[in-house]
Structures are given as structure tokens and as C-alpha cells.
Amino acid sequence: MYDVVLLTLGSERDAPGGCGSGGACCGGATEAQNDPTDPTGQTEPTGQTDPTSQADPTSQADPTGQTTRADGDAERCATERPRVPVLACADALVARGARVETVTARSDAEIDAVLARLDGPARPDGLTWPDLDGKTRLVVATASDGQLRAVLRRLVRRYAPAPSRRPADLPGNRTLPDLPPVAVLPLDPARGGTHRDLAAQLGLPRDPAAVAAAVLDGTARRLDLLRNDGGSVTLDGALLGAADDAGRPLHWRARVEVDDAILTNGDEPLLACAVGNAGGYATLDDVTLLTAPDPTDGQIEVAVAVPVVVRSALGRKRVRLEVRRARGRAVSVLPREGKVPYLDDGVEGELTRKRSWWIEPGAWAVWSI
């Protein structure tokens, strides 16, 4: 028999990005405040449980099993009761004999309290490590890819060891162990259509009963993860660039380097740059940026769109859009001027200094039928 935790993030219902999107969870600290990279560029050690991993003493459980807060934060959050898909999934799990608890987390600390249930036995080196053979399974109910990312970000923060404590049993191409599988329960049916979320791209079940079946009878499908030096993670991809009020793309400059290949040195204007683990940002309007992003191939696909002026045989000038692509294990983007807006797993941000992403092959996993 499995113990299953149905985790919902208590941000405003269906808000883009949701928990960990800059406003963190409702009642929680912002992502910037929890960013382990300080302004000097130094990254604090991760891996051993940090103080925020303890259960919030102001939290309590109501009779439905949903977490509420005694300090009034519940009044500022839209999710008072579990959503219908969550209840349907819980019913399907209970009917199969699972012990089910529904939890709404409104801060990183409350997410960490749930993730602590996935810890493995104590290790001689003192590191906190996941129990991949445990009987506790996690279902993350998500209204957006940003919410799923928020949970994976906390998993990474919990289990990734500091470089000085790197154990000998960690694979050479990884900075963290295999993370425990999670099941994904999409709360937005529309994201399975034209504007596909990550669950749709991966072909994961969307029906609550099918999600329950995947949790209890499915297999763990391992996927690549992108970490970055801003202290966060990327599951799908990132799109850098901006447009004016009329929707026209604005030019910007940056040095973009994939492993040893330089896609642009920062001297020419760019319209967009796509960093892909999966295919969420494969196209921009009618332009194909990424040709074959694959979250299981151990590589990042990167593309830049560069407007190039060419002359016809009659000497007339016209602008042609040139797309340059490269694949590798890591990418860095160094803005040359001002701020560069971006979307990362649907979460908005601004890049003001160099940002690097690198691949962690097979680091995370989803329950799949």
C-alpha cells in the first residue's frame, strides 16, 4: 500500500507562474529572496537540509487534510478547498487502497515539509538523499509549468550536495542524485491543446483517474533537468527577447555560447534566443527556433534569431531572419546592454547579467503509464 500526497500550491488560482514565480507561494518569500546566488555571484552550499526545510509551525491541517495557516495567509490565497480534479484523483487513489493526504503549500517551507517525506535512510556522510524505493509517492497538482518547476526547484535545493561534499557515488556528469519521481495532475485542460504545457508535450495523462493509475501502476520515466547559476531549474525551456506594444520584436544584444560554439558574440542585434530542454519554445510566431528538443537526450538545444540585411541583384535591401542553432551540455547568455526580458517555464523575468544553464541528464522523473 502506498502513501500518496496530493500537493497543490496555494497561489492565486490558475495564476501564471504561481508558486515560485517571483511571488513564490501565497504568503511565502519571493524567488529572488530565496535565490541561493547572492549579488557577489557566490552560491551558498546546498544539499544538506536548510532551515527552511522544517515544517512551518504556523501551519495546521483541517479535517479535509488540506493545510491551512493560522497567521491569516489563508485569507489572502484563492485556494480554500481542493480543486475538483484533486478530489477526483484522491477518490481514485483511495478506491485502489492508497492512503491519501491532500496538502496546500503556500510557502517554500511548506513545500519542503512535504518533500521531507521522500527522504531516504541516513547516510554515513550525513547528506540528505531521496529514497527511490520508498512507499510514499507525490502528486503535484499544477495550474502551470511554473508551479511544477517550483516543486522541482525545492527538490534540487534539498538533495543537491555542496561541491565540497560531493560523494563518490554521484555520477560524474551530475551535480545531484536521481530525484524521486513525481506525478503531474494538470488543472488547466486548455493547456493540453494548442498551447501545450509540459504534461501535454510528454504525453502524460490529464484525467485524474489516469493520473492515479500512473502513480500506483506506472513506471518512472526519467527526464533531463536544466540547472542554472541563478539558483533555479528549468524543465521545459526559456525564451529571451521582448516585443513592443504592437507586438513587434525589439532588438537586443548578448553573447550566446553553447559549449565551445559561439552563436553570437554580442555585436549584432538579436530578436530572440531559445534555450530548449523540451519543445515549449520551439517556435516563435511562424519561425522555427528549435528543431528537435528532447528532454531525454542529455543535451540542450539553443537557437538565436538574427536579422540580417541582404541585397538583391538589383541592389535593393531586405531583411532576412537567420536562425543559428547549436546543441551541447551548457549554454551561457551575457547581455551586452540593459535588461533582457525572458520567459522560463512560463515565468517572467529580466536578465541583467550573465546566466548559464547546464544539463543534468535523467535527474528528475515522472510517473507515466
The string of pLDDT tens digits covering residues 116-151 is 999 999 999 999 999 999 999 999 999 999 999 999
Dist CA 308 CA 58 (whole Å):
58
Q: What are phi and psi of 145, to 5 degrees?
A: -65, -30
Task: List all residues 6 or more positions away from 3 whose beta carbon is below 8 Å from its beta carbon.
Answer: 98, 99, 101, 117, 135, 136, 137
Q: Hey, what's the cell of 167?
A: 560523494
pLDDT of residue 34 exceeding 90: no
End-to-end CA distance of the chain: 19
Task: List all residues 6 or more positions away from 104 whose beta carbon is below 8 Å from its beta carbon.
Answer: 7, 8, 9, 10, 66, 67, 68, 77, 79, 82
Q: Which range, of 21-30, 74-83, 281-290, averages the lowest pLDDT?
A: 21-30
Q: Which of 188, 221, 217, 226 is nearest to 204 (CA)?
A: 221
pLDDT of residue 96 exceeding 50: yes
Instruction: Name the percent of the chain in helix, strand, coil, to the closest 5.
Output: 20, 35, 45
- The Cβ of residue 55 has, within 10 Å, a number of other Cβ atoms equal to 13
Q: Which of 157, 323, 335, 143 is nearest to 231 (CA)?
A: 157
What's the pLDDT band for 332 if we cut at 50, 70, 90?
A: very high
Q: Name the more confident of 247 and 168.
A: 168
Q: Read off the amino acid at residue 158.
A: R
pLDDT of residue 190 exceeding 60: yes
Q: What are phi and psi of 336, to 5 degrees?
A: -95, -20
pLDDT of residue 349 exceeding 50: yes
DSSP state of 217: H
Answer whether 19's CB lies under 8 Å from 11's CB: yes
Instruction: Convert the pLDDT of each residue in 1-32 to its tens digit.
Output: 899 999 999 854 333 343 443 444 433 334 44
Q: Which of 18-27, 64-73, 249-258 has the highest mean pLDDT?
A: 249-258
Strand order in the sheet with 237-240: 317-328, 300-311, 272-276, 237-240, 340-344, 347-351
Q: Which of 169, 176, 123, 126 is nearest to 154 (CA)?
A: 176
Q: Tell me, what's the pLDDT at 193?
A: 66
| H/E segment holding residue 213 | helix 208-217
Q: Tell me, what's the pLDDT at 290?
A: 97
Three-state DSSP string of 64-113: CCCEEECCCHHHHCCCCCCCHHHHHHHHHHHHCCCEEEEEEECCHHHHHH
